[in-house]
A and B are shown apart, each in its own frame.
Chain A
Amino acid sequence: MTLARRLRLPLVVVVAFSLQLTVVSSLSVHGYHPDIMVLVVVLAALIGGSQRGAVVGFVVGLLTDLFLQTPIGLSALTYTVVGFAMGSLRAAVVDAAPWLVPVGAISGSALAVVGFALLEAIMGQPAVLHHGLAVVVLVVGVVNAVLALPSSRVLRWAMETPGGRPAAASAMSGRWGTRVGR
């Protein structure tokens, strides 16, 4: 794989994170904002598999942690598990259809939001486990579900191997991962 191709995924992550910091975080629905970094992790896992999903989750989580006041590593841990779980979901589904992308985005978002809130509560911030948590899950999940299909094209481009298929999907020809966004 060429260097330019290898840099696609980091580029997508950096651009998505910059948008999250500047634009997305200023959009407010009932006091909460969407979280497109979860979507990046979920799509990377659905396209690249559980191993790649976990690695992308760890890196994206660590990057997010650098901009939060919570202990560094909380988002990394949450997103690693989300990436692995979503990658495993892809592996478990034999005849998956494109509609599983938004469904994966919703379930991955819910897992990320609730998982992070639980970890933060364990680390001494029980206030985050309030009734608004359901609204956060709804806002993040619905927005990510809407953005999932168009964004999956970008992630597929970022994770494409020279053969024209995402890294893990090339080893699983005929599976759903190769059809996402096409």
Chain B
Amino acid sequence: MMDNNAQYMDLFVDESREHISSLNDRLLELEQSPTDLDIVNVIFRSAHTLKGMAGTMGFQNMMHLTHQMENGLDDIRNHKREITPSIIDVLLNCVDQLERQLDQITSKGTDDGIDTSATLAKLAEAFGQQNPGGQESKTEPEAGANVPTLTLDPDTLSHVESQGKRAYCVRVTLEPSCSMKGVRAFMVMDAIGHVGDVLVSEPDAQQLEEGAFADSFDLILVTDASKDDVVSTISSVSEVLNVVAWELKSVPPTVDTPKSTSTPSTESPNVSKERTAVAPSKKTASKSIRVDLERLDSLMNLFSEFVIDKTRLEMITNQNKGVHGLSETVQHLSRVGADLQDIVMKIRMVPVESVFNRFPRMVRDLAKNLGKQVTLEIYGAETELDRTLIDEIGDPLVHLLRNSLDHGLETPEERNQSGKDSTGTVKLSAYQAGNHVFIEIGDDGHGINRDKVLKKAIERGLVDASRSATLTDQQVFDFLFQSGFSTADTISDLSGRGVGLDVVKSTIVSLGGDVSVDSTPGQGTTFTIQLPLTLSILQAMLVRLEDEIYAVPLNAIVQMDAVKRADVHSVHGNEMMHFQDRVIPIVYLRERFLLPSDHTTDLSVVILGKGDRRVGLAVDEFIGQQEVVLKSFGNYFRTSLPGISGGTILGDGDVALIVDPTAFIQ
């Protein structure tokens, strides 16, 4: 049993998280349409599944809590009680507790130590008298009669038969007491995998793995094995109650129900209803598997090694042009490497939805606390980002959303006075453009008060009062990201203590991205986060300083120039150069990196660009363009070093530092 627990723990945690997340979402939906019993049913089923899983794993507290939720929900299902705001609050509170229990289980392996008594009391109060026996819920009636619901089209079927194989429609029924249905279904699929190939299943593989089905599921199996073998193989999986197999033949002799026409009607109506009800958020049913994150990471690491060696090989090839066939082989290797990189990167991409899905709940609670009315609109949740970025952007986004609610949006009274709808809107949208992903958080509040920000900036000595009038709005708003800067008049519980936006900025910058803010008085404020698609592998220009080699990310480079000393102008003590009809400042990388610099020679300048700002970065020499793998220095440094975003290993095994271009463009 202990072995089983260890083996299923990850699955249990994953599945529970999904159910908890779904509970949150559905409860928020229910709050909007309190009479929709379909939603209640979905919530009920999630709670029921959680209860079963918790029970199997021996988490009594979690089981007890979900059991009580289930009882209350049952009353609603049976029209004994109506949904009230306080019931929603209590149920959301329960979900929070479940989440805490699950966290505790993840970290300590037990759900003890989370005090749920207050929640249980509130639950009992909201639902009035509880049925002490805790009436066991009935699972949904089984779909379909004793006929196969799945068929193959005649072409496929005859193809199968021409190979001397046979196709079966198999219905597997699990014991009603089986609580980890997903796990069992997975084991069944695994067992079948040894005797043949599964072509179709109803519900699909993903839902099967999630346990999103009643007690039985159907599948079509192509195999050499006999019907008896198939049945006995599946029956050997524990908690399988019953297995029925029908052989599918080109001219179906026994199957003549309306369902099995030659065009496959894969779903009977009540099955499809079940499906939409259980997993409404799954828009596309894709063929997918769960992969351990550690394996993904080690795949990435191995691939990084590959890229380093590939680069080294390219170097060797250039030095040994005479070797027959070497250069062709290396070229081919490079192409394969590029394709491989594409795939590895794609595997690591995760929809931002996994971060966004906790925000509706958070915004609702915050709005309640603040006494504001807010609608959160989410766009582009399907936009994908590298997994490492997903892990990091949660906190900055939470901060910006809180900021919008707390500072951006007005109270309903203020909104009415300025002729706006009393309900404010916060838009959270994600989209991809080029090699970047953008996430915008926009509100329709009162906007940022430019004068107030300026006043504060002058007070703090960030800008000279005489220069203030010449600053663009953009430059003024940028002060908000300075550390310790807050314009809030009152310090609230949430924000306004001057910590925050600077942390948001430094987090995003450390991810190779940037954050900016735009605002129109009276109409609202929008924060825009720009992130790179992937972190780890980038194109860079290698440059030399003395005997040191540095890598400058190519996406920040506008152009590279050789500049004659005579073309360097001194403006107000700063060295400047001409670039595309503009005069731009020159930064000596030597000085930034604490090496002596010479201000009399001609210069090799990398022109860096960010937005419409340009800076010329003077280096000793350009070495050439190369693909580099960004590696961190581990956790020894608590903050990043100015101007350096990490290191990379060059073909000869030496470490080259990667320059952080944003540090030079101010």
A, B from the same assembly: no
A-contacting residues of B (Cβ < 8 Å)? none
B-contacting residues of A (Cβ < 8 Å)? none
